[in-house]
A and B are shown apart, each in its own frame.
Chain A
Amino acid sequence: MKRTPITRIALYLVLFAGAVVSVAPYLMTLNSAFKEPAQVLTTPAWQPAFPVTFDNFAQVWSEYDMAGFLLHSLIYAGVVTAGQVVFSTMAAYAFGRMSFPGRDALFWGYLATMMVPQIVTLVPLFLIMREFGLIDTYLGLILPTAFGTPYGIFLVRQYFRTIPRDLESAARIDGAGTLTVLVRVLLPLSRPILATLATITFITTWNTLLWPLIVTNGDATRVVTLGISALKGQYSSQYHLILAAAALALLPLIVIFLLFQRHIVRSIALTGLK
């Protein structure tokens, strides 16, 4: 296709504008979190923080249990991610590589539930947790998503099916059992997809509001989404505080995203091609 310089410049302008809009809210938030309280209100958001102050962070850290919120979210997201990776991998191996009666019906059952909105399960899920005495406990928080979600199983299964069967047969002839084949042959080859699954699960769980809102109510289990939305409710106009808190809640995500961005970008691109 022929391109004139003008259309080329227009293209770059559109892309540049898109890039600015994508990062501006992050940068403005971080910038304002470093400003003095009065300056957050009196200076425009794009004006660089000067003088730079860490007081806002110190204040949310000492006066509110920000460290606690972050720690509780780390426990929640960490355990769910570990469970998701281990149990999704096991189930994906069974679905993708073994034949057993009921396999296809079960797999379709898993896929069908991906259509069900989350809110549909919440009232009964709350009642189940209450029956087990797990309200306001980490177990109650973690259990519903810790055994592997249909999405996770689907993702890993599709990947397993691209690995040549010969590798597995060779190991079987050498006398390897199912578990050995899974751990020694398939897992080393599946690192990219497992990294993707772990990253996406961690991010999703870290960001979850609704389930923690319903199943927890105490200080010892308060995750960061609940912590900062309560701050917002209490100090809605004290932007220096709530922006610093929002920045702290987003920071771990940005670190993880930048570490694994290659996997994430590729896996999103692939989701539409299935």
Chain B
Amino acid sequence: MIDNITYDGSVRGHRRAEHRLRARVRTVAEAYALLAPSLAGFLLFLVAPIFGVAALSLFDWNLMGAPSFVGLDNYRELAADPEVWRAVLNTIYYVVLNIPAQTVLALLLALALNRRMRGGKALRVVFVLPWMAMPVALGIIWSWVFDPRYGVVNQVLGTVGIDGPNWLTDPAWAMPVIASVNVWQYTGYTMLILLAGLQAIPHTLYEAAAIDGTTPVQRFFTITLPLLRPSLFFVLVTNTIGSFQIFDTVFVMTQGGPGGATDVLNFHIYQQGFQLFRSGYASALAMVLFALILLVTAAQFLYFRKRTVYDFS
């Protein structure tokens, strides 16, 4: 209390510093208090498992008894396992069926919607409707749509005299059918992100280019595509990461069949880890999937970094 009536500068300064320090300590304490629940969840359920899986991949453990350390044996085994290579190739095949089709379709729709038009807003909502569907329910619906006898697809093909294949039991067709679920589900979502990117391109650029006598096709390749690259990059990276993790539709529609034709990495990991209880081996496989995703993402970053025009606003 005495300090309050002391007009000596040094004491006052000292008080002020102490006050500031106390306020700072309180802010930091408050910040960590606000952060505490999310941080606890983050460390326990995300960070610990990530380190845990790397450690587990060096053990042989059927979830009973004691785990035994085997070094890199799991990795040696998976490198020599033809089923693993098939699963890797199947996963890549799925991504390749998926991403280009979805991106090109989305881009075409976005270009068509990128103008003032009646019903444009309602159309956007309609195109995003597939995005929220439950993949498990879609798996059921697609199994019906592609049923060789009772499905819509073969009924339609029948009306024009084509005898449709047994889609999901035909090794050549099963994967494209599964990929079509994902293309259907995410094209509208991708379209919306690309549309936002298109709308951010200044209109004056097109007007100037039109005055210079360019054709619409030239304008697409010299203005639209280069300036859309940040949005394209975003959808390609995030959709590719998502596609590598395909599981639900395979689980519902084919269980990896016929004859392993749709046995993708995620499904293979699930079987090894939770049906055969080979937790160490499944962990090593999970590390392989993670590495594969990192590799592809890094490649996309390198490719786009060279060619992307950033920051045009």
Contact = CB atoms under 8 A, between A and B. Distances in A.
B133 A253 contact: yes
A187 interface: no
Nearest to A130: B63
A155 interface: no
B293 interface: yes
Contacts of B266: 117, 119
A148 to B, nearest CB: 4
Interface residues of B, number: 95
B192 A19 contact: no
Given A119-B286, A225-B136, A94 B128 contact: no
Interface string B115-146: 00000000111111111111111111111110
Given A123-B283, A147-B42, A148-B41, A15 B123 contact: yes
Contacts of B128: 261, 264-265, 268
B45 A121 contact: yes
A62 interface: no
B34 A117 contact: no
A144 B28 CA distance: 26
A271 B130 CA distance: 18
B211 to A, nearest CB: 12
B279 A91 contact: no
Interface stretch (A51-59, A96-104, A190-198): A96-104
B150 A101 contact: no
B37 interface: yes
Nearest to A209: B248
Contacts of B130: 22, 25
B193 interface: yes
A239 B149 CA distance: 12
A123 B273 contact: yes
B195 interface: yes
Given A117-B289, A225-B248, 18 more contacts: A45-B155, A87-B41, A100-B32, A109-B47, A117-B290, A119-B269, A122-B273, A123-B282, A125-B45, A128-B44, A128-B48, A147-B40, A150-B42, A178-B34, A210-B270, A256-B132, A269-B193, A272-B194
16 contacts: A11-B112, A15-B112, A22-B129, A91-B34, A100-B32, A103-B31, A118-B245, A121-B45, A125-B45, A207-B134, A214-B274, A228-B136, A246-B137, A249-B134, A265-B125, A272-B194
